[in-house]
Structure formats: structure tokens, C-alpha cells
């Protein structure tokens, strides 16, 4: 079961950083090249310089953005831009946000350390596969900085809300920060440092499995870093700092959790022909077309998306092709359960729209191979269906496959069964920001208990 611990967090100095929105970023994997440029311009101490620095033409093994990030981390501490807390704490974190213009939510989580365990131990469970290249890049950064610059976002079950209530009662009166970012999300964070409360929270968490929601690459990178450090420092005990990873833990039994769909945009589908594809798809799906004219497009698009988002118990996939004059809805027929493609899959995976897309549509009907599915340059991901449609309509992509979001119960079932979803199957909104709390990894320092 997960073993959690407090940390002496490295935090932005609120006396020098008067507007936290100027220095925070989302996690590296959702930052576009344009956003990367924007964050570099926003503030000289923006987190982008630590998590996703700019490459230079003369970069080499020794002069590169990883080492520049490490130097920035050192200098910001020397200049007191970043200050480390004197005593260990959990960091109780609330955000207020709007999932839609008419739906308001509040999510509570806690930033802490969690003992690193291999997935086979069953205390920390993944649900998505990862990219080796991304983990290699993250490991270079972690070895250069010797720090957790971003937290892993994980979920835990607590229907009785004991952990959240205990954290609320243990909050220090003065907030660490209280600000609204440029996306309209309101952030509040408190230290929880009373020894009695720290022990009580750790005890409540002792019998709970944690499910990685976001940050699979960060967790697996921390495991790789741990192995390297254990070989380098074999005499260090289990409390050595490198045996833990920074996590943001959120109770999965709270109303403030939102999962957005992750739509697939393809740069190019080789030898794709619309009518041939739809004829083949008709063997498995009820094919519903939404033809439109330039004048009726907006209205028809609304009807199409409404139908996509009201699927009932059936798996439904939306499709839109560049320069096409219709949207297409593919509703999986109930009489295809006997088909080999589905019966070869474990039952929990059969229920997922993203698996129907990957295994039936992409692999079977379109003969898309694994190399293309794993090529981050060929497939892009978007979370807003209208944005995805607009990008295909603007000829930036050839085609878009639109999905409904994965349910939290499905994630839990997949992870508990030891199974994996395809890449980018879940998107928890909002992302946990980078810049709230950093964790230094001194190999000679023990984690406080």
C-alpha cells in the first residue's frame, strides 16, 4: 500500500513573485511550441525554464537545456526566488474552475511524497502506456536537476472523505498563495505541518491503492532515477530522498473531478478513401451521416456533437475528413460482440470507445500499424471537439476521430485489472500546475516521517 510522507517544499518567494500566474505552467506534455515561446517571454523566472527550456543551435552533451535548467534552479535558490520550507508539510490544494460555461466545480488535492514502488507491487497502478523517448528526455532533466520539478497526479479512493477533512482541519491559517490564473482558475494552497495531522493523514492513506491519473512518464522516470541512485548509493536506506516521488493526490470520490475526451487528429492516413472506409465500417457500425452546406455547417455541427455526446451504453466514434461536406457518427452495433477483434480483448477494455477506435477502426479497418500509432509527429491530440474540427477544416490535419471521455470507473477497473489503455486515453481537467511545489532530491537526505 502507498507510503506517503511530508516534504520541505521548494516554493516561489511570495515577496518577490507578486503574481504567481506569471511563473506557473501546465505540465510539459501539453505545452505547444507557441506556448513554450509565450512562457519564456512571460517572466524570467517562469517554470518553463526548468521543465521545457529552449534548445540552442550549439547545444552538445555538456551545453544543453537540461544543464541550463539545473543552473537556473541553483541560481533561483541563491537569489531567493525559490525558498525551501524549514519544516516538513503536506500542501493542501484547492482549485475552483468551470468545466463548461454553466458548470462550476471545486477540486481538492494534497501535494506530498509517495514511496516509489514498481507497478507489480500493486500499491501504485498505471492505466496508460508510455513513450520511451519521452522518458529518456525526462530522465536527463531529472539527473541534471536532482529534483522533482513536476508532480505526478494520482487518485485514491476515500468515500468517507476522511483525508480531505483531516487536511482541512490541519491547515495553517495563512495561505501559501491565493490567485486566479489567466484561464480563470482560482488556486489556493495551505501548509499542513502539525505532526499529529501528518501522521493521521499518512495512516488514513496506508490501506489505499493509488491510480495514476496524469504523469505516467514522470512516475516511470522517477523509477529509473531511483535505480540509478540506488546503484550509486547502495548504503542508503529506504528513507533516502530518491526513493520517493512528488505527487498530487486527489480523492476519486469527489464531485470536482473532470475527465475530458482526447480526440485524435491525423496528419496523414495513407491511401485513405472515404466511401471505401464507410462501406467497410458498415459491417460493424451504424453509420450516420450529417451532411452540411456552408450556410448550415454551424447548425449541423451542433447536432452532430450533441449526438456524439449522448451515446447511452453504445460505443460511439465521431469522424470528420478534411474538405468533406459531412460529419459522420459511427455507432457500434450490438451484434458484433462475437467478432474476433473484440473477443481477444479483456472485458474491461472492450467497453472503451478509445479501444474500439484503436483496435477496430484504426488497426482492422484502416490497417494503421503500431509504428504510426506510436509516432507523436503523425498523431496530435485535442480535448475540445470544436477545436479539432476547426483544425481539420483548416487543412492542418487530414482527419479527426472524436471520442467521449473515459469514465473514472473505467480507469479504476482497467488499472485494478493490470491492463493498459492506448496512449492519451484520459485527460483530467484542469491539469495540475507546475510551480506550486518543487522537491529537491539530495541523495544524503532522508525523507521526514
Distance (Å, rounded) from C-alpha 319 to C-alpha 263?
A: 10
Q: Do 340 and 388 belong to one domain? A: yes
User: Are 24 and 31 in contact, with CB atoms under 8 Å apart?
Assistant: no
Q: Are residues 250 and 267 in the same domain?
A: no
Answer yes or no: is 415 within a domain. no
* pLDDT tens readout for residues 110-162: 999 999 999 988 889 888 888 888 999 999 999 999 999 999 999 999 999 99
Whether residues 221 and 280 fall in one domain:
no
How many structural domains compose the chain? Answer: 2
Domain identity same for 15 and 125: yes
- Strands 244-251 and 152-156, sheet pairing: parallel
Structural domain for 322, as ranges: 262-404
Using alpha carbons, list the distances in angstroms from residue 357 to 361, 369, 407, 430.
5, 13, 16, 25
Residues 68 and 128 in one domain: yes
The secondary structure of 263-289, three-state, reads EEEECCCCCCCHHHHHHHHCCCEEEEE
Dihedral of CA atoms 193, 194, 196, 197 in degrees, nearest 10, equals -60
**Cell matching residue 159:** 468515500
Q: Has residue 411 been placed in a domain?
A: no
pTM, to two decimals:
0.86
Looking at the structure, do residues 239 and 303 belong to the same domain, yes or no?
no
The answer on 287 and 224 residing in a single domain is no
Whether the pLDDT of residue 15 is over 60: the answer is: yes
Number of other CB atoms surrounding residue 285 within 10 Å: 24
Q: Are 91 and 438 in contact (CB under 8 A)?
A: no
Residues 151 and 23 both lie in one domain: yes
CA-nearest of 24, 1, 190, 3 to 108 is 190
HSE, CB side, 13 Å, CA atoms: give it for residue 256: 18
Residue 209: pLDDT above 50? yes
| Average pLDDT score over the chain | 92
In a domain, 282, yes or no: yes
- Percentage of residues of the chain with pLDDT beyond 90: 70
Count the helix, strand and coil residues of the chain and give each as a percent rounded to the nearest 5: 35, 25, 40
Query: Is 122 found in the same domain as 209?
Result: yes
Residues 269, 240 share a domain:
no
Same domain, 131 and 244: yes
Of the candidates 366, 341, 369, the residue with the CA atom closest to the CA atom of residue 355: 341
Q: Average the pLDDT over 434-439 and give the result.
A: 98
Q: Are residues 191 and 42 in the same domain?
A: yes
**Is 361 inside any structural domain?**
yes
Q: What SS3 class is residue 34?
A: helix
Grid cell at residue 266? 491525423
The mean pLDDT value for 353-373 works out to: 88
CA 396 centroid distance within chain: 25
Q: Is residue 425 part of a domain?
A: no
Residue at 419 is within a domain: no
Q: Confidence band (pLDDT; 50, 70, 90) for 102? A: confident
Residue 148 lies in a domain: yes
Question: Could you tell me if residue 273 is inside a domain?
Answer: yes
Amino acid at each position: 500500500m502507498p507510503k506517503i510522507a511530508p516534504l520541505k517544499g521548494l516554493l516561489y518567494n511570495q515577496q518577490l513573485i507578486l503574481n504567481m500566474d506569471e511563473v506557473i505552467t501546465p505540465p510539459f506534455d501539453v505545452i505547444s511550441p507557441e506556448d513554450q515561446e509565450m512562457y519564456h517571454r512571460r517572466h524570467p523566472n517562469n517554470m518553463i525554464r526548468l521543465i521545457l527550456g529552449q534548445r540552442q543551435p550549439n547545444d552538445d552533451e555538456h551545453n544543453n537545456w537540461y544543464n541550463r535548467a539545473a543552473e537556473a534552479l541553483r541560481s533561483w535558490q541563491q537569489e531567493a526566488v525559490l525558498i525551501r520550507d524549514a519544516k516538513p508539510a503536506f500542501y493542501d490544494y484547492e482549485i475552483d474552475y468551470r468545466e463548461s460555461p454553466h458548470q462550476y466545480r471545486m477540486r481538492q488535492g494534497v501535494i506530498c511524497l509517495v514511496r516509489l514502488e514498481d507497478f507489480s507491487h500493486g500499491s501504485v497502478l498505471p492505466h496508460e502506456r508510455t513513450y520511451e523517448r519521452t522518458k529518456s528526455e525526462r530522465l536527463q532533466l531529472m539527473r541534471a536537476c536532482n529534483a522533482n520539478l513536476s508532480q505526478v497526479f494520482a487518485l485514491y479512493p476515500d468515500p468517507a472523505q476522511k483525508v480531505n477533512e483531516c487536511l482541512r482541519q490541519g491547515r495553517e491559517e495563512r495561505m501559501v498563495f491565493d490567485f486566479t490564473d489567466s484561464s480563470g482558475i482560482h488556486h489556493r494552497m495551505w501548509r499542513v505541518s502539525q505532526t499529529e495531522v501528518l501522521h493521521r493523514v499518512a495512516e488514513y492513506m496506508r490501506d489505499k491503492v493509488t491510480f495514476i491519473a496524469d504523469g505516467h512518464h514522470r512516475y516511470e522516470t522517477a523509477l529509473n532515477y531511483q535505480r540509478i541512485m540506488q546503484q550509486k548509493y547502495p548504503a542508503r536506506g529506504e528513507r533516502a530522498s530518491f526513493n520517493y516521488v512528488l505527487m498530487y493526490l486527489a480523492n476519486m470520490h469527489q464531485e470536482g473531478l473532470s475527465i475530458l475526451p482526447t480526440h485524435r487528429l491525423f496528419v496523414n492516413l495513407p491511401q485513405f478513401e472515404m466511401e471505401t472506409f464507410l462501406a467497410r465500417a458498415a459491417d460493424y457500425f451504424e453509420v450516420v451521416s450529417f451532411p452540411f452546406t456552408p450556410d448550415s455547417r454551424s447548425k449541423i455541427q451542433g447536432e452532430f456533437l450533441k449526438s456524439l455526446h449522448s451515446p447511452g451504453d453504445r460505443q460511439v466514434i465521431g469522424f470528420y475528413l478534411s474538405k468533406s461536406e459531412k460529419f459522420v457518427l459511427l455507432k457500434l452495433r450490438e451484434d458484433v460482440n462475437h467478432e474476433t477483434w473484440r473477443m481477444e480483448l479483456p472485458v474491461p477494455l472492450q467497453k472503451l470507445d478509445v479501444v474500439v477506435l484503436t483496435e477496430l477502426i484504426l488497426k482492422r479497418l484502416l490497417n494503421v500499424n503500431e509504428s504510426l500509432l506510436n509516432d507523436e509527429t503523425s498523431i496530435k491530440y485535442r480535448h475540445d471537439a470544436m477545436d479539432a474540427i476547426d483544425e481539420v477544416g483548416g487543412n492542418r490535419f487530414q482527419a479527426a476521430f472524436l471520442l467521449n471521455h473515459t469514465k473514472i470507473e473505467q480507469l479504476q477497473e482497467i488499472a485494478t485489472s493490470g491492463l493498459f489503455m492506448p496512449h492519451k486515453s484520459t485527460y483530467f481537467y484542469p491539469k495540475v500546475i507546475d510551480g506550486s511545489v518543487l522537491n529537491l532530491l539530495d541523495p544524503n537526505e532522508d525523507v521526514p516521517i
